[in-house]
Chain A
Amino acid sequence: MGNIKNIALTLVCIGVLAACSGDDGKDGASGTAGVQGEQGVAGVSNFVTAQDVVNTNAQHAYAAFADSLITAKLLQEKVKELVQNPTEANFTAAKSAWLAAREPYGQTEVYRFREGPIDALTKNTAGEWTLVDGEGPEGAINAWPLAEALIDYTIDMDGNEGRGNAAVYQEGGNIIHDASSFPVITKALLEEKFELDGEEANVTSGYHAIEFLLWGQDLNADLTYTEERDYTAGHRPVTDFYTAATIPADEANGRTCTSGEQGAQDAVCERRAQFLIAAADLLVDDLTNVVNAWKPGSGFHYAEYTKAENVDKSLASMFESMGRLSFGELAGERMSIAVRTNSQEDEHSCFSDNTHRDIWLNAKGVQNHYSGSYTKVDGEALVGASIHDLLVAKGHHELANELRAALETTMATASVIDNTAKLGMSFDVQIQNEQNKQDVYSTIQALVKQTDLIQKAVDALGLEIDDSLKDDTEEDI
């Protein structure tokens, strides 16, 4: 009923323009159309409903995860080309494909922290897809820090060879070099070895495993590993993928398979290639499942998420994710710890030095959630019903304006980190420099501020974050 009334009212407004109350500009900037009020209709649409916002959000989830899958498949293709023909050009193409794949994925992370498919998608005993919190593919896709010493050669700060668990690895100390414990490296092996020994630190799959296999350890340009870092990313040579069968015809220096600076047996390069392909294949599989869950129409989670009776819950989950990504994950785990402790290990994409993009893209995802927008990798700009519209429609135009401004401030400060990196000073160096550290702190503070307003928006809309446990207990005690 309410909706019908709103539509009728709006039609009248279109007819007589400025005559509608609250929208005629008399109330100035505090009118429902804000500073645009004087134009009467130039403000936001005011008949957006929570259902509209949730539908848009679900459609954009599909768009962003589909983009992630498309770019992951390109990465998979480039990686295969590299392995078949390990030229410098193909090596660069594979690395570019990895960087490109991170662009949409970073913007999907705002779909975490809500028991959605990325965190909870799994199969039940009957083999049907279901959601069980904590059982989803997120860890296998994007966990960090990586246990690189379990995967391939590394060195420590004293220049010694890093090794995985001596009790697990018979030779060479890592999966690639230990052909006796792991005769073939397959998707199944990576799935099985993920979080080996139940240890969260033993991450061996996902974007960051592929990143490590493409870039190698983030040593200095002279291949030393020191507390004072230089501006370079990892330095893995393309020869790490050379095998007798694949050495490029134009190889002028007679180089053969290597493990960094050291020569290595062909088998090691073959196994490294197997690992790389298996990791790319697994990533594509995991993302495919998430995309399917969000598919408009047939996706089981899409249907559930947009159901009329679940709309308030879904809307609340959007806010919860925005708040938790902004504060705990991005400001907290991904930024404050790295900057407070000057720890390269705590930098998200440490091998490729792409952390500035991770930060920017995560923040962008939160802003996208608010503004009901997402720009596809192919350039198509999706714009739909937004939380901003909803707040205005419900009469919270001042809060809407404040939150919009706070999100913009965050993007502006995150852009400083992003641009500084693009100008040559990567995030792991920024956190070592007093002046740049201030930029990082500014972004953290902006994220904290926006989270505050996100909470106010939750209160303003009268949403309750699901808490069944509380409901359970209050009746008794």
Chain B
Amino acid sequence: MNFLNKYNYIAASIATIILSACGGGSSESSNPATGIPPDTSTPPDPVLDTSNHAFSVTVDDGLPPLLIDKVDSNEHLSADTATTDIQNNDAFSQAIPAIVQLPEWDAVFKAGDHTFRSNHDGEGPLFNNTSCQGCHIKDGRGEVPSSNIEPMMSMLLKVGSSKGSIDPIYGAQLQVFGVIEGKSGPILAKYQGAINEGLSYGEAYTWVEYELQHGEFADGTSYTLRKPIYKVKDLAYGDFNEDVRFSARVTPHVYGSGLIESIPESSILVYADPNDSNNDGISGRAAYTSQPITGVRQLARFGQKAVTGSILQQISGAYRGDMGVTNTIKPEEPCTSLQTACNEQALLENNKHHDGVDLNNVDLAQVEFYNRTLAVPKRRGFNEENNTWNTDVLAGRALFYKANCHSCHVPRHKTGRALGSVLGDVDLLQIKDTKTNINALENLVIYPYTDLLLHDMGGTCEVTRELASGESCSSGELCFYVQRCDGLADGRPEGDATGVEWKTPPLWGIGLVKTVNPKATFLHDGRALTIEEAILWHGGEALAAQKGYINMTKEERSNLQAFLNSL
């Protein structure tokens, strides 16, 4: 067993489900039919009543309009034929049925799954976890550590400035573990250890404390939210930049990613409304990035702030940034040029046996295939014998539309083409020159509940230097960095997203999050213990929807939750 493995056991998990903030540009709409003057000479055109249409905009995908008062006949299949029936704690780890049926695809899926769960040669010198699965617990969410003395294993703090630049010394994220030659196991940070001893300690120790915040529903029932305060100490490489900002992220789930990747850009852009031209208070802004290898500009749809455009871009970055596993897409070690101890330790890695990087392209392509072909669990609350939905789920669905949640958490999309990997087709042993579409992902009607766009979720942040007592300080080992934010903002722009913007996360599978990992919580940083808390945290463009929830009766809230839990 690899020595690094021991930390995997702790794995924590969480998931971020920002329940909604969003809005894509269309609200429920309505073009109530106006009367047409009777014409006796020719039969009248049929009058279309669009008042029950969920969206006023239309996507050119050949589907009938999504209705707010009628459930699609296959809505219980969250991902069409890419849906799995499994509902237990392995619900997020299933291959798409069509993949299972073709032995050569099944084999690549399983090989990718194996690598996804494995530690790797050449990990570090800096890392947050040693395997993909260590963070994406059972292919679902990571979790917040259960105490302040447990290092963050499946969540992390990104670091940078309020202007969007990365930290000149620490880079884009804080890796809490280091590798030091001759010492066993992951090494936590030590105050100025990298500077004074020249050893590659973890970069810093990070933790979260919660302050309780109270509120009240319109019916007088009170609720409590946990407001996170992020703290950082033991900086191994010296102080952060003056204008430092942190962005806490709990690992999101991975299932369904291949379907998300296969939604045509044009379909997503239909929902964008960057200037809120329809005046519904919800904008919805597309973010862009460049495809690795080809350099083609494309919509960024992965990452909690929409910074990567493809699964390959996402996983190659995670291998490098989260595990310190270099690969042909991201060949640089996770050290900045100012981190001498890290760079020196990197030279000692003797496992760069795959074209000079830690991970060979066969493994990378298999893991990409695995991520693309994980199925989405089917809905609960639907009786397939007699084709009926539980009444609370139906009532909750109506409330979801009524509160305008769907404007950002766009329920339905249709996938288009699913091009073969830009790396080439992979089998068990090699990568070939061919690039074959994964047709098991193509032309499916899916219900991810996201518009994949950026939305202003409100809030502001401030970073202070404090002693453990809370007293202000300016330097030294006991002088922690402390970030407090109101609302969901992180104050750290990333890619095209500002410090208050987040990408609408998909909601499919949200009802099974705790089945898969009972310790998982919700929202991008895991602050919400329940789905209800996640709703209550919504602000900015989603404030009206949040108010809608506050104003619901207890029964309505319970119905809405039943609906969300059925996803």
Instruction: Check A164 against B101 for contact (C-beta < 8 Å).
Output: no
Docked pose: A329 CA to B384 CA in angstroms = 33
A332 CB to closest chain B CB (Å) equals 4
Verify if A172 is at the interface (C-beta below 8 Å from B).
no
Q: Which of B81, B106, B133, B518 contacts A470, CB < 8 Å?
A: B81
Verify if A201 is at the interface (C-beta below 8 Å from B).
yes
**A441 in contact with B429 given A156-B184, A332-B110, A337-B115 (CB within 8 Å):** yes
Docked pose: A404 CA to B37 CA in angstroms = 77
Chain A residue nearest to B443 in the complex (CB): A477
**A199 in contact with B107 given A469-B85, A472-B74 (CB within 8 Å):** no
B373 CB to closest chain A CB (Å) equals 12
B1-31 interface code vs A (CB 8 A; 1 in, 0 out)? 1110110111100000000000000000000
B76-118 interface code vs A (CB 8 A; 1 in, 0 out)? 0100110101101110000001101101101111110011011
Instruction: Check B11 against A145 for contact (C-beta < 8 Å).
Output: no
A167-182 interface code vs B (CB 8 A; 1 in, 0 out)? 1100000000000000
The interface residues of chain B lying within 8 Å CB-to-CB of A444 are: 428-429
Q: Which of B6, B89, B103 contacts A324, CB < 8 Å?
A: B103
A138 CB to closest chain B CB (Å) equals 12
Instruction: Check A134 against B9 for contact (C-beta < 8 Å).
Output: no
Docked pose: A168 CA to B104 CA in angstroms = 40
Chain B residue nearest to A132 in the complex (CB): B88
Instruction: Check B428 against A133 for contact (C-beta < 8 Å).
Output: no
Chain B CB within 10 A, most for which of A149, A164, A198, A455: A198
B199 CB to closest chain A CB (Å) equals 15
The interface residues of chain A lying within 8 Å CB-to-CB of B363 are: 340-341
The interface residues of chain A lying within 8 Å CB-to-CB of B3 are: 156-158, 160, 162
The interface residues of chain A lying within 8 Å CB-to-CB of B184 are: 156, 158, 160
Q: Which of A133, A158, A201 contacts B85, CB < 8 Å?
A: A133
The interface residues of chain B lying within 8 Å CB-to-CB of A157 are: 3
The interface residues of chain B lying within 8 Å CB-to-CB of A470 are: 81, 97-98
Instruction: Check B103 against A454 for contact (C-beta < 8 Å).
Output: yes
Docked pose: A437 CA to B108 CA in angstroms = 20
Docked pose: A128 CA to B10 CA in angstroms = 35
Instruction: Check A328 against B138 for contact (C-beta < 8 Å).
Output: no
Q: Which of A177-206 contact B (CB under 8 A)?
A: 196-202
The interface residues of chain A lying within 8 Å CB-to-CB of B360 are: 340
Instruction: Check B517 against A198 for contact (C-beta < 8 Å).
Output: yes
Instruction: Check A473 against B80 for contact (C-beta < 8 Å).
Output: yes
Instruction: Check A337 against B86 for contact (C-beta < 8 Å).
Output: no
The interface residues of chain B lying within 8 Å CB-to-CB of A346 are: 114, 118
The interface residues of chain B lying within 8 Å CB-to-CB of A441 are: 429
Docked pose: A341 CA to B115 CA in angstroms = 10
Q: Which of B9, B11, B86, B118 contacts A150, CB < 8 Å?
A: B9
Q: Which of A327, A328, A477 contacts B74, CB < 8 Å?
A: A477
Verify if B73 is at the interface (C-beta below 8 Å from A).
yes
Q: Which of A133, A148, A324 contacts B1, CB < 8 Å?
A: A148
The interface residues of chain A lying within 8 Å CB-to-CB of B111 are: 328, 332-333, 336-337
Instruction: Check A477 against B445 for contact (C-beta < 8 Å).
Output: yes
Verify if B182 is at the interface (C-beta below 8 Å from A).
yes
Chain B CB within 10 A, most for which of A147, A475, A477: A477
Verify if B65 is at the interface (C-beta below 8 Å from A).
no
Instruction: Check A473 against B74 for contact (C-beta < 8 Å).
Output: yes
Docked pose: A201 CA to B129 CA in angstroms = 14
The interface residues of chain A lying within 8 Å CB-to-CB of B83 are: 469
Docked pose: A147 CA to B6 CA in angstroms = 9
Verify if B137 is at the interface (C-beta below 8 Å from A).
yes
Instruction: Check B362 against A340 for contact (C-beta < 8 Å).
Output: yes
Instruction: Check A149 against B5 for contact (C-beta < 8 Å).
Output: yes
Q: Which of A201, A324, A469 contacts B5, CB < 8 Å?
A: A201
Instruction: Check B77 against A469 for contact (C-beta < 8 Å).
Output: yes
Instruction: Check B1 against A164 for contact (C-beta < 8 Å).
Output: no
Interface size on B, residues (CB 8 A): 58
Verify if A277 is at the interface (C-beta below 8 Å from B).
no
Instruction: Check A467 against B106 for contact (C-beta < 8 Å).
Output: no
Docked pose: A163 CA to B185 CA in angstroms = 10
The interface residues of chain B lying within 8 Å CB-to-CB of A163 are: 6
The interface residues of chain A lying within 8 Å CB-to-CB of B106 are: 323-324, 327-328
Docked pose: A156 CA to B98 CA in angstroms = 41
Instruction: Check A196 against B429 for contact (C-beta < 8 Å).
Output: no
Q: Which of A427-472 contact B (CB under 8 A)?
A: 441, 444, 448, 451, 454-455, 465, 467, 469-470, 472
Q: How many inter-chain residue pairs (CB < 8 Å) link A and B?
A: 153
B514 CB to closest chain A CB (Å) equals 11
A198 CB to closest chain B CB (Å) equals 6
Chain A residue nearest to B9 in the complex (CB): A165
A202 CB to closest chain B CB (Å) equals 6
The interface residues of chain B lying within 8 Å CB-to-CB of A147 are: 1, 9
Chain B CB within 10 A, most for which of A201, A202, A332, A448: A332
Verify if B152 is at the interface (C-beta below 8 Å from A).
no
Verify if A326 is at the interface (C-beta below 8 Å from B).
yes
Instruction: Check B97 against A476 for contact (C-beta < 8 Å).
Output: no
Instruction: Check A167 against B107 for contact (C-beta < 8 Å).
Output: no
Instruction: Check B1 against A134 for contact (C-beta < 8 Å).
Output: no
Verify if B172 is at the interface (C-beta below 8 Å from A).
no
Chain A residue nearest to B428 in the complex (CB): A336
Instruction: Check B133 against A332 for contact (C-beta < 8 Å).
Output: no
Verify if A27 is at the interface (C-beta below 8 Å from B).
no
Instruction: Check B101 against A465 for contact (C-beta < 8 Å).
Output: yes
Docked pose: A337 CA to B6 CA in angstroms = 22
Docked pose: A135 CA to B72 CA in angstroms = 31
Verify if A345 is at the interface (C-beta below 8 Å from B).
yes
Instruction: Check B114 against A320 for contact (C-beta < 8 Å).
Output: no
Instruction: Check B107 against A162 for contact (C-beta < 8 Å).
Output: no
Instruction: Check A160 against B185 for contact (C-beta < 8 Å).
Output: yes
Instruction: Check B362 against A196 for contact (C-beta < 8 Å).
Output: no
Verify if A362 is at the interface (C-beta below 8 Å from B).
no
The interface residues of chain B lying within 8 Å CB-to-CB of A332 are: 107-108, 110-111, 114, 428
Docked pose: A257 CA to B90 CA in angstroms = 41
Instruction: Check B6 against A469 for contact (C-beta < 8 Å).
Output: no
Instruction: Check B103 against A451 for contact (C-beta < 8 Å).
Output: yes
Verify if A331 is at the interface (C-beta below 8 Å from B).
yes
The interface residues of chain A lying within 8 Å CB-to-CB of B80 are: 469, 473, 477
Instruction: Check A455 against B103 for contact (C-beta < 8 Å).
Output: yes
Q: Which of A162, A198, A473 contacts B77, CB < 8 Å?
A: A473
Docked pose: A21 CA to B10 CA in angstroms = 70
Docked pose: A328 CA to B101 CA in angstroms = 11
Chain B residue nearest to A319 in the complex (CB): B103
Verify if B150 is at the interface (C-beta below 8 Å from A).
yes
Q: Which of B186-238 contact A (CB under 8 A)?
A: none
A239 CB to closest chain B CB (Å) equals 23
The interface residues of chain A lying within 8 Å CB-to-CB of B81 are: 467, 469-470, 473
Verify if A154 is at the interface (C-beta below 8 Å from B).
yes
The interface residues of chain A lying within 8 Å CB-to-CB of B100 are: 324
9 contacts between A and B (CB under 8 A): A134-B88, A198-B137, A198-B516, A198-B517, A199-B138, A465-B101, A470-B98, A472-B74, A476-B72
- Beyond A198-B516, A340-B360, 7 additional contacts (C-beta under 8 Å) are A149-B1, A156-B1, A324-B100, A332-B110, A332-B428, A467-B101, A469-B80
Enumerate chain A interface residues (CB-CB to B < 8 A): 132-135, 145, 147-150, 154, 156-158, 160, 162-168, 196-202, 320, 323-324, 326-329, 331-333, 336-337, 340-341, 343, 345-346, 441, 444, 448, 451, 454-455, 465, 467, 469-470, 472-473, 475-477
- For the complex of A and B, the 10 pairs showing the least CB-CB separation, nearest first, are A156-B3, A165-B9, A327-B103, A160-B184, A332-B107, A328-B107, A323-B103, A336-B428, A328-B106, A328-B110
